[in-house]
Amino acid sequence: MRHRSIPLARASVALLSLSVSAVLHAQTAPAPTASDWGGVGLLQTPTARMADDGEVSFTASHTSPYSRYNVVMQPLPWVEGAFRYVSVANRRYGPEWLSGKQNYKDKSIDLKVRLWQESRWAPQVSAGFRDIGGTGLFSSEYLVASKRFGPIDASLGLATGYIGNRGDFSNPLRVISDRFEERPRAQGTGNFNSKGMFRGPVGIFGGIAYQTPWEPLQLKLEYDGNDYKREPQNNNQTQKSPINLGASYAVNPNVQLHLGWERGDTAMFGITLRGNVARAKSTPKLLDPPPVARASAAPSAQSMGDIDWPALSRTLEENAGLRVTGISRRGSEVIVSGEQRRFYYPAQGVGRAARILDSELPSDTTWFTIENTRLGVPVVESSIERSTFNSYLDNRTPLSELAGHIEQAAPAQQRRESLYVAPLRRYDGAFNIGYQQQLGGPDGFFLFQVAGTYSVNFHFTRNTWLSGTASYNAYNNYDRFRYDAPSNLPRVRTNIRKYLTTEDLTLTNLQFTSNHQLGKDLYGSAYAGLFEAMYGGVGGEILYRPLNERWAVGAELNWVKQRDFDQRFSFRDYSTTTGHASFYYQWGDEHKITSMISAGRYLAKDWGATISVARAFDNGVNMGAYATKTDVSSKDFGEGSFDKGIFISIPFDFLLPRSTRARATFAWNPLYRDGGARLSRSYALYQLTSERDPDFFFDNLDRIDD
């Protein structure tokens, strides 16, 4: 057990950081900036500050011998999450025959939570965990407070583990148990490091950030809680001074440059690129047709018999993105059934369709209803009162009043008069560019493939179809891909190298699917074929999702067999039954959170559960994390200990000059392992019924006249 007194100089620095005189003139407080580790902080140490809600940043920094590449996300105003790779210049990843001269790469996940928001007299307080989901080589736990005094933001914190490795005093938790006196060395397994949390001596850290009169420039002074005498991999560093100095320069709101002098003898330089996905707006839709103009006179049609229904359907698809399957009437209400194929925001598609119907339908039609379908299955009916909609377009009715004249209902088998049935479109296909990558492996940090793909759908009925995708390798650097991770489980995923390198021309999937609405709120799906690159088989799914409710429950069951490495029509010997029961729930009003817990049997015949939590922003961006734990032991699972990852999903609509419903999903999983592996399926029912979300339509109602 180590007992150390706190030298007077250290105590003075610590006290000074929280006792800056309030006589400082009023000046803009320092904005949160990235530390060397990517999260909001000074240089080596964190502060209690948070970035703006919805911010995503990438920070690259170098302080010899470490280069850090950090991605940081702010899914909630009080939660910061990060993942990173640390490249260690003087350590090799593996044997030269495998890794060549590649530096060692460490993977880690961080979490910081705000416990208390700053007030006039009280500081902001946050607690954090560094490297909780990686190898644990840099693991640390801390509590930090920050207080603003004019242009100065002062911070003071306590840490166990890496951030507090100087060990200024013994751990006070030793009164609970002697095990808190010493911290065990990290095993590098990727576990949550719970056995080492809050253990070992406690170190003090802190410092100040100063906003200079020149707005782009911020200066930093820091007392480092680490003395670098217990570095991972016996890679101890000389520290001539615990005082670190630095500066951050904002080139523009999205780019920051960082310089510093650390450990008394080592330069630091870094760059941060950042943006806010919560505030992101769509690029101007220069390639979209303008909405149909308001008619200056009453519609020419005096009755339904006067209308050219095929022409109206073409206009609805070309201008409103609605591929019509049928049009019917129920009293003074006209119902258009079809699939929205262009506009991401439901209100925008409904508004455009209502304009078109208003210009064509007789005046005795008082309500327009759009029955939105997905892959032939009705999902939701959105009805809008014609007169109120016109009044809104004429600026005589506010948006809030219009909302009261819009109704959403579950599609039901009610008696209707059919006016038009569109012919079935049996075939559609498209060429695309495919891309996949592998990060952080010992045989190459960045391995990737670019491929040309062709996808096709052939419909037998509106809700029964055959889909397939063929892929041809255009370019890759897989000649360096030589490493197969060891596994104590059936190789359900760790054979990935062989799937990626055996053939250039592959059949990624070929699947027969039939979807059905089994009841007002009940959906079912049956499917068979080649589901993904590694598995084919048969399966089914059922989902109960009441309209305008925050919850849903579902289950899926599959029998699958492992495909051959050439990804054609032959199979390997391994087969299994896999399936899960899932519960979905959406939390919160101001800050919406979508959560899922799924329990069942995984591909390696292990049993367990997956938890996924994501922030759902009003504009459709999702940002979250997941973790899977099964009955496979950490030892049998191998490096990583359990499956986990971070993801962000962004509508492509933000990026393109033409409206689209497509999404870009970026997921980071530190390792590809066999434990907790799930079947990759197309057409999951919860995603297909996403427009049953109780809030998304009305949260974006202002787009109804776009």
Residue for token pair 């644990």 = 136
Residue 678 forms part of a structural domain = yes
What pLDDT was estimated at residue 639? 63
Quick check: 4 pLDDT over 50? no
* CATH for 576: 2.40.160
pTM summary value: 0.89
CB 318, CB 310: distance < 8 Å: no
Domain count, the chain: 3
Q: Are residues 381 and 476 in the same domain?
A: no
Which bin fits 686, alpha (ψ -120 to 50), beta or left (φ > 0)? Answer: alpha
Per residue in 468-501, pLDDT tens? Answer: 999 999 998 888 787 777 788 999 998 988 998 9
Identify whether 704 is part of a domain. Answer: no
Average pLDDT over residues 53-62: 97
Mean pLDDT, rounded, for 459-465: 97
Q: What is the mean pLDDT of residues 430-437?
A: 89
Residues 91 and 207 in one domain: yes
pLDDT beyond 50 at 193: yes
Q: How confident is the model at residue 9 (pLDDT cuts 50, 70, 90)?
A: very low
Residue 703, in any domain of the structure: no
Please say if the pLDDT value at position 262 is more than 80. yes
Q: Above pLDDT 90, what percent of the chain?
A: 74
Residue 5 pLDDT level (bands cut at 50, 70, 90):
very low
Q: Establish if 55 belongs to a structural domain.
A: yes
Which is it for the CA torsion 533, 612, 449, 442, positive or negative? negative
Q: Are residues 457 and 339 both part of a single domain?
A: no
Question: What is the arithmetic mean of pLDDT over 334-340?
Answer: 97
What does the alpha-carbon distance between residue 444 and residue 531 come to, in Å, rounded to a whole number?
29
Shared domain check, 268 and 119: yes
* 121/54 same-domain check: yes
- Is residue 531 within 8 Å of residue 517, measured between CB atoms? no
- For residues 56 and 361, give the distance between their C-alpha atoms in angstroms, rounded to a whole number: 47
Same structural domain, 416 and 513: no
* Closest CA relative to residue 83, chosen from 113, 50, 108, 58: 108
Between residues 15 and 35, the one the model is more confident about: 35
Residue 701 included in any domain: no
What is the pLDDT averaged over residues 345-364? 94
Q: Are residues 393 and 409 in the same domain?
A: yes
Q: What pLDDT does 58 receive?
A: 97
DSSP letter (8 states) at residue 132? S
- Radius of gyration in angstroms for the set of CA atoms belonging to the chain, rounded to a whole number: 29
Evaluate if residue 97 carries a pLDDT over 90. no
Three-class secondary structure of residue 316 per DSSP: helix
Asked if residue 616 and residue 506 are part of one domain, the reply reads: yes
Q: How sure is the predictor about 273, in pLDDT bands with cuts at 50, 70 and 90? A: very high
Would residue 288 count as lying in a domain? no
Give the CATH number, domain containing residue 254.
2.40.160.40
| C-alpha closest to that of 53 among 594, 550, 616 | 616
* Average of per-residue pLDDT values in the chain: 91
Do 160 and 186 have their domain in common? yes
Asked whether residue 332 falls in the same domain as residue 269, the answer is no
Please indicate, yes or no, whether residues 372 and 252 belong to a single structural domain of this protein: no
Residue span of the structural domain in which 244 resides: 8-276
Residue 656 lies in a domain: yes
The DSSP letter of residue 290 is P
Kindly report, residue by residue over 591-615, the tens digit of the pLDDT: 899 999 999 999 999 999 999 999 9
Sign for the CA dihedral angle at 630, 633, 638, 644 comes to positive
In a domain, 221, yes or no: yes
Give the separation between CA 262 and CA 601, rounded to whole angstroms.
50
* Same domain, yes or no: 319 and 336: yes
Say what the pLDDT of residue 8 is. Answer: 42
Three-state DSSP string of 152-201: EEEEEEEEEEHHHCCCCECCHHHHCCHHHCCCCCCCCCCCCCCCCCCCCC
539-558 pLDDT, tens per residue?
Answer: 999 999 999 899 999 999 99
Closest among 593, 624, 597, 543 to 695, alpha carbons compared: 593
